[in-house]
Amino acid sequence: MSVYVEINGDGPDIVLLHGWAMHGGVFAEVASLLAKSYRVHNIDLPGHGRSDADKSIASLDQLTERIRPYVPQNAVVLGWSLGGQIALQLATCMSLRALVLVSATPKFVADASWPKGMAPNVFAQFFARLHENIDTTVQDFLSLQVRGDVHAMQTLKSLRNSLIQHPPDAQMLEAALTMLRDMDLRPLLSRIQVPTLLIAGEHDRIAHPAATQSTHSLMHNSQYIEIKRAGHACFLSHRDEFMTALNQFIAQLPLSGAT
């Protein structure tokens, strides 16, 4: 089972991990800008983009282990949404320079101890619709990502164009959605020592900024930035603000990371 990785540029390593149903192409503009100063490893998750589906993957641990060989030691790992949860796990099992978590939290579905996650009934309805009509469900998910974003229509067009290029594997979509439903990575947060930047969109309806703020409060060495009038895909809708925050964060990092 091959994992597709596009590598461009020279310099310190930075790894890009995309979110559910998408692929590394969603980072095209960001990756191009980063490649001017860094060696960019843009990874397609299994069953997404140009990576083969691996039907043996049934847990976030297994997904992380599948990706791990393609992540250089001492890299900055940037994860968006589901990619952010993989990044959190990577930080506990290898030496990284830093983490950048974009619209990502350690627990996706809300409960009494985590009230700012997605409501369980909303998630259950979404999961059920995936079986009825996968194409419509994914399109609805893209629309939810841009809701409240000042650049919603333009951002939605970008997301749809990326999806059309490489539609995801249906079974891998369901497996990844099950991971999001069941995961709770909060116990990992106190173990992560590397500098971490958490970026949230003010109007994110999928990973609520209050959940990202709570994540920030549970980590030892993190910074929190909220991009005003942005939704879930702030690196697309507010690219310049996103890149400014990212470059400033990386510029002040030590040269080597920690486990």
The reply to whether 216 belongs to the active site is no
- Cα 223 from Cα 7, distance rounded (Å): 28
What is the DSSP secondary structure assignment for residue 96, as one 8-state letter? Answer: B
Q: Is 10 exposed, middle or buried (0-12, 13-18, 19+ CB in 10 A)?
A: exposed
The reply to whether 166 belongs to the active site is no
Question: Which residues, 6 or more positions from 141, have their beta carbon under 8 angstroms from its beta carbon?
Answer: 20, 21, 126
- Cα 127 from Cα 20, distance rounded (Å): 13
Q: 41, 48, 232, 238: which one is catalytic?
A: 232
Q: 204, 216, 237, 238: which one is catalytic?
A: 204
CA distances from 53 to 1, 104, 139, 200 (A): 7, 23, 21, 30
What is the bridge-based pairing of β-strands 76-80 and 39-43? unpaired
Q: 81, 158, 214, 237: which one is catalytic?
A: 81
> Which of 27, 37, 77 is closest to 195 using CA atoms?
77
The reply to whether 169 belongs to the active site is no
Tell me the catalytic residues.
81, 204, 232
